[in-house]
A and B are shown apart, each in its own frame.
Chain A
Amino acid sequence: MAEVLRIEGLRKSFGALEVLSGIDLSVARGERIAILGSSGSGKSTLLRCVNFMEMPSAGRIVLDGQAVGQETKGSIRYAEKELIRLRTRIGMIFQQFNLFPHMTALQNVAEGPLSVLGLRKTEAEARAAQYLAKVGLTEKADEYPSRLSGGQQQRVAIARALAMEPEMLLFDEPTSSLDPELVGEVLEVILDLSREGRTMLLVTHELGFAYHFATRVLFLHDGRILEQGTPEEVLRHPREERTRAFIGRHSSFAF
């Protein structure tokens, strides 16, 4: 399968703290990758480096065979314009939804096509309506986010990312701030998307969901990929002691 994303020697430090210590990863079109790891393992930072919400300290991101940035004398410089263009091709869904509170659900979804892609208002709204329908929220189109449940807000946020018709979707703990009874509806929507052959990277704590969702599971530890493989391999038959311990902790209250 064709490679859409390649990460080479990615490092990221915040001050003296190194969060990512050399990540190499190749993602093929249509792959669904679940990124697991305990907090502080660098999984969110890895995701956020892909669309340059965080600037890598070192290493290279290659998108569709094109290296991002200009390499001069061993360091890479990034032009804001290039990053802006890149972000239009990569959708991101946040833990806190981050919907625009001054816009209705429909306006939230239409905003990207309207002000970034330059679609006409009627076209942008038609597209927004289409993606709201896809996440099952047609009847909430005219509601403001403050009137929506957390689960509905996150579904609107997914529609907002989809409306840009991106090549890849990044989910940063999409259900971590939801009440347990609202987690299901969001996971259903994500699972639906996975059937369309979209390329998706998902940071999550829901091991069960990762198992059903992913084509590949990564386990991060101390800023490195400690183990990776199919969900069956990593979640059912982990090779590494730390992976086993992590999975054990997460299922200690299963019944």
Chain B
Amino acid sequence: MDYEFAFGEVFANADLLLRGIWLTAALWLIAFATALVAGLFLGIARGSTRKALNWVATAYIEVFRNTPVLVQLVWFYYAFPVLTGIQMSAFTAASLGLCLNTSAYCAEIYRGGLQSITAGQWEAGRALGMPYWTLMRRIILPQAVRRMVPAFTNRAVELAKMTSIASVITVHELMNEARTLATQSFLPLETFTVVAIIYFVLIWPGTVAASLLERHLAAKGA
């Protein structure tokens, strides 16, 4: 293969890619933070013995887990405004879609984690006179979250990669900028190589940090 690599032009357009990185990071952070909170309540509802609550949560989770994210984002950006008359910006639609999707997965992680805590812990807290949310916050969640760290890491990594799908609904995140650049420069090979490396450099430290955190929590006992 005697292809002449021309990375120079890709680096010359670094500002374009930097802007993309910024939006990718913003999408990722917003969607993950909101999904962690929404997922907690969904997960509790999913594990609830109240039928209606349980049913609604289950339906939500199954819908979002069993349809492609791509379809969900496109639906929020193109179909949702038709139905409701509310037009969201591409960025809002993407954040919302990614958050709703990830919260469904987080809910299952929370539910599994909460169910792994023995009944004795609930009993000990109740016997001390703890109200439900105190017990949840002080006793159950701190133990459950430790067990959930690996699963949440997977989710975070998965979500970081999923943000690239937002390029389809014209969010100018990294992937979208890369496609623009590749088309303009006629250098798809160089551009996407650089972009792949950027994604790796963005995501990999998170994986490492999570495994360090996991080890730190394990060392603290429990």
Contacts and interface: CB of A to CB of B under 8 A. Distances in A.
Interface string B198-222: 0000000000000000000000111
B123 A160 contact: no
Given A100-B139, A101-B143, A144-B222, A94 B130 contact: no
B126 interface: yes
Contact of A51 (B127, B130, B131): B127
A98 B130 CA distance: 15
B126 A102 contact: no
B127 A84 contact: no
A111 B221 CA distance: 18
Interface string B116-146: 0000110110111111001000110011001
Contacts of B130: 84, 112, 115-116
B214 to A, nearest CB: 15
A53 B123 contact: yes
A35 interface: no
Nearest to A160: B128
What are the nearest 7 A-B pairs in CB distance?
Answer: A88-B129, A144-B221, A98-B124, A98-B120, A87-B129, A92-B127, A112-B128
Interface string A83-101: 0111111111010101111
A53 B126 contact: yes
A116 B222 contact: no
Interface string B154-165: 000000000000
Interface string A64-105: 000000000000000010001111111110101011111000
Interface residues of A, number: 31
Nearest to B132: A80
Nearest to B139: A100
Given A102-B142, A102-B146, A111-B138, A146 B124 contact: no
Nearest to A108: B124
B121 A100 contact: yes
A239 interface: no
A226 B15 CA distance: 86
B221 A53 contact: no
A94 B143 contact: no
A96 B221 CA distance: 18
Interface residues of B, number: 19
Contacts of B142: 102
Contacts of A121: none
B128 A116 contact: yes
Interface of A: 51, 53, 80, 84-92, 94, 96, 98-102, 111-112, 115-116, 144-147, 157, 160-161, 164
Contacts of B143: 100-102
A94 B138 contact: no
Contacts of A91: 127
12 contacts: A53-B123, A87-B127, A92-B127, A98-B121, A100-B124, A100-B143, A102-B143, A102-B220, A111-B128, A112-B128, A147-B221, A161-B127
A112 B222 contact: no
A59 B138 CA distance: 34
Contacts of A145: 221
B109 to A, nearest CB: 18
Contacts of A102: 142-143, 146, 220-222
Nearest to A86: B129
A53 B124 contact: no
Contact of A87 (B126, B134, B138, B146): B126
Contacts of B124: 94, 98-100, 157
Contact of A84 (B120, B131, B139): B131
B110 to A, nearest CB: 17
B63 to A, nearest CB: 33
A90 B134 CA distance: 18
B128 A101 contact: no
Interface in B92-128: 120-121, 123-124, 126-128
A96 B129 CA distance: 19
Given A101-B221, A101-B222, A147-B221, A94 B128 contact: no
B114 to A, nearest CB: 14
A147 B143 CA distance: 17
Contact of B134 (A92, A101, A116): A116
B176 to A, nearest CB: 43
A251 B138 CA distance: 44
